Structure 1
């Protein structure tokens, strides 16, 4: 028995240093928690298009007459005989206008609207020359015109860059031109008043500009519009002269306005920031 215990003790003395040495050699690997992935910026999934909008605009416009003519009968004032004549000079002052409309965003690049604009009065000054009682004379003519412009418009949006969306467009419709009475004053002579005429005319427009995203629903719109208005009756008969006709207008407009889109404008949608959160890190357990 004593001998067996001695043998067992000797075995323990031999095993213990070996086990300690082995424990000193083995070190479990250090596993670090994974780094979180950086945020990923993605556009809104499946952006929706198609939505109604309303708009309001203000502008300043400059009108230029493309020509004038009026009918004369017999020995009209100024020495004009029967036939037609025209103003020697014409000038139209600039004026303000206000507009409103309703439209629909068809897709990312195409929209259309119906607009109504009121052009405030543009003052007209003209002159004619002739003979009065055998002597040369000159007349000064004054009037003004205002108008309603009703248009159906289509636009192509050319993409959005840092909130700015340039566009081009065209419109077709009609203008209701309202001329004030024309006052014809001959220097050193008589004054004649011709009743002004009002009538509908064909009109078309070409536009270019850019809109800026103020919010996802609200855009600031700035641009230029050129409008061509067909000719029509300008003033009525008085004292052997008229009716008178204008050959139409070329109108240049600098415009600014706001466009509110119901349901939001996909061109103005902010990108989504999507981040990946890894599952909680649990260190390995060694047994």
Structure 2
């Protein structure tokens, strides 16, 4: 028993220092935690823009009336009225407030829309007579507008909007040609009128700063004076004009451009270098 104890003790004395020396040799690797992901900031909103537009518009009178004098005088109206379509040009300056809201001030010149009408009444001899009437109107429209952009999908941004302002309406001289008789010319009238508009359309990102805009606008003009007195008839009034416009134009935004047209933010991921175990000598 004594001999076995001596052998066991000698073995323990040999093993314990060896284990301790092996433990001293191993050190666990140091692994650094990767830094957080870096996200490139999206372009900020807010910026001035200018716009130019061209359109074709159709007009319709909401009614007419004129005053007649003499026997049986009173208020009368055209039997028929028709306004032809015409072109217009516009320009404006605006501000993109946020991703979904922008405003602008615009000026549009509507070129002449030809007017054709007919009237009927009693001629000088007491008999009935019919006349044909020709004129034209043009207008300068000044509007303050606001738009709601409904989100951008594949570079297309649909929108709705509304505007309020005024229009300077100019009527040309009215030529009244009586069947079997002569021609009477009534001097045309010009005046400022209240106006409001409703819009809908979509813009397409050509670049981050340039948008193609296509849309529809409905504008309602208040009534006003149409022509002056001549040959026992006057003045004449229209009761307002409804105008439908098909529009196309370009918007250029200054600075970094329209954020709706910016590319999506890029996520930059950190990739640590490959781990190499330490070498102990």
TM-score clears 0.5: yes
Report how far residue 286 of structure 1 moved: 5.7
Which residue of the partner structure matches residue 262 of structure 2?
A: 269
Aligned residue in 1 for 2:14:
none
Distance 2:195 2:279 in 1: 86
Distance 1:275 1:51 in 2: 28
- Counterpart residue number, 1:127: 118
Superposed CA offset, 1:218-277 (max 9, x none): 011111100000000000000100110000100000111100111100111112434436
Cα deviation, residue 137, structure 1: 1.6
Mapped pair 1:180 → 2:172: yes
Aligned positions of 1:184-199 closer than 5 A: 184-199=176-191
Alpha-carbon distance between aligned partners in 1 of 2:279 and 2:109, rounded to the nearest angstrom: 84
- Structure 2 residue 49 is matched with structure 1 residue 53: yes
What per-residue deviation string (whole Å, max 9, x for no partner) do you get for residues 189-209 of structure 1?
110000000000000001111
Q: What's the RMSD between the two structures over aligned residues? A: 1.7
> For residue 59 of structure 2, what is the aligned residue in structure 1?
63
Determine the C-alpha separation between the residues in 2 that align with 1:220 and 1:281: 49
Q: How does 1:1-287 map to 2 (within 5 A)?
A: 45-75=41-71, 81-132=72-123, 133-263=125-255, 264-276=257-269, 278-281=271-274, 283-284=276-277
Q: TM (normalized to structure 2)?
A: 0.82
Shift of 1:64: 0.3
Q: Distance in 1 between matches of 2:104 and 2:163?
A: 9
1:141 deviates by 0.1
Higher mean C-alpha displacement, 116-125 vs 130-139? 130-139
Aligned length in residues: 242
Instruction: Answer yes or no: is the 8 Å Cα contact 1:215–1:268 preserved in 2.
Output: yes
Contact residue 61 and residue 241 of structure 2 kept, 8 A: yes
| Stretches of structure 2 lacking an aligned partner (at least 5 in a row) | 1-36
Query: 1 CA distance for matches of 2:135 and 2:47?
Result: 44
1: CA distance, partners of 2:81 / 2:157: 39
